[in-house]
A and B are shown apart, each in its own frame.
Chain A
């Protein structure tokens, strides 16, 4: 029986990096977006931009995922 260990290993590594990466980015976006509204009520535009950047990066990765599905 032939087990394609290298393909299996690649799936593990890529899925780990992408899955954990997207969730971490999104979590950062949630955290930063929250602090901008709660800390003294003063909106820091830096935090707001950082939050948007996090979500945009997630959206870009998801968009690439859709592209992979469609182009297959």
Chain B
């Protein structure tokens, strides 16, 4: 099998993206369970990691396009894909450092848009598809999940008003474990497939695989393990924001938020209206906060999060454009971009050590 340097670099970067994807999104499923003590932090990320790995093997449907039609795929090359992935990874790391949940899919789309734009021109980007598949769902998903969680939380408290507080807390904690696990499984079946699609289609473009191939076992295994490892290491900074930063979650709220999120994610993927897991889960948490008492939501944190959502696509596009442009210059450009990306990753990690967040302090309210 003849694999050129760029293809090898794309595969490694795609796995790195998959890792940051898992790392970033642990919070979606597990933050509320960790915050209410339904699960010890390490156990929660462990369960989520296993379910993500299982999810990667379960789903039969593998992404057939890299970009879901957002860019003209006949006009992208491995170096553009590489640029796009670098943009996504860098943005994921930056938002993690700030503890902000943001959509990994949006980061990937943004990176690809930026890289395609500079390399193939703006007409290779399909802006109406961008609006349909990115902008509308981004506005709709937190609203829908928030509304469902709001009503569900209100009813959960109203119905169990006459139950003892202890019984209520314990009962809903058990429910939380089930609903959070369902979100993890759904995440694994969706997000690991994306990376598999990117790697498989790159190999097809490079002629290493015949057109229309299914992902080889090593790709399925690699993508599943990368997302599971990322999930297990856990983006604790984001988990703290989701579980403690937005609102002080109690177990009925956590259960209502995750159940609503699972209902929205499963319904939307069943009806072919793909919504971002991150946006749905964050919306669910905010709705659960409002559903108990309006004042409980820290709107400054929620506002920062929304700003991060808005910036995700353009910021990843900017990095993707720069990385794509540089790596289109040949092997030297690819190596420079790879080194820069590794440098930024190490830099983010070093900065995070100044105020480490881990399993030990994930339930302290951020300053």
Contact = CB atoms under 8 A, between A and B. Distances in A.
A38 to B, nearest CB: 7
Chain A interface main SS type: helix
Interface string B244-276: 000000001001100110111011111111010
Majority SS of interface residues in chain B?
helix
A15 B185 contact: no
Interface in A44-72: 58-59, 62, 65-66, 68-70, 72
Contacts, number: 136
Nearest to B58: A70
Given A15-B260, A19-B263, A62-B182, A38 B164 contact: yes
A23 B156 contact: yes
A14 B5 CA distance: 48
B182 A1 contact: no
Interface residues of B, number: 53
A16 B260 CA distance: 8
Interface residues of A, number: 38
A15 B148 contact: yes
Contact of A69 (B58, B147, B160, B255): B58
Contact of A72 (B128, B136, B255, B269): B269
Contacts of B270: 68, 72
A66 B172 CA distance: 20
Nearest to A10: B271
B335 interface: no
Contact of A19 (B128, B149, B172, B269): B149
B168 A23 contact: no
Contacts of A59: 178
B317 to A, nearest CB: 19
Contact of B163 (A7, A11, A30): A30
A69 B188 CA distance: 10
B263 A8 contact: no
A23 B163 contact: no
A26 to B, nearest CB: 5
B175 interface: yes
Nearest to A22: B259
Contacts of A34: 160, 163-164, 167-168, 171
A70 B228 CA distance: 18
Contacts of A31: 159-160, 162-163
A31 B164 CA distance: 9
Given A2-B132, A27-B155, A66 B267 contact: no
Interface string A1-44: 11110011011101110111011101111110111011000000
Given A15-B148, A26-B172, A65-B262, 20 more contacts: A8-B273, A10-B271, A11-B144, A14-B271, A15-B263, A15-B268, A19-B148, A19-B152, A19-B260, A19-B263, A20-B155, A23-B153, A24-B156, A27-B156, A34-B163, A34-B167, A34-B168, A38-B164, A65-B182, A69-B266
22 contacts: A1-B132, A3-B136, A8-B136, A11-B264, A11-B268, A15-B267, A16-B151, A19-B149, A20-B148, A23-B152, A27-B159, A30-B163, A31-B162, A34-B160, A34-B168, A35-B163, A37-B167, A62-B179, A66-B185, A68-B266, A72-B60, A72-B269
The 5 A-B residue pairs whose C-beta atoms are closest, nearest first, are A19-B263, A30-B171, A27-B159, A23-B152, A34-B163
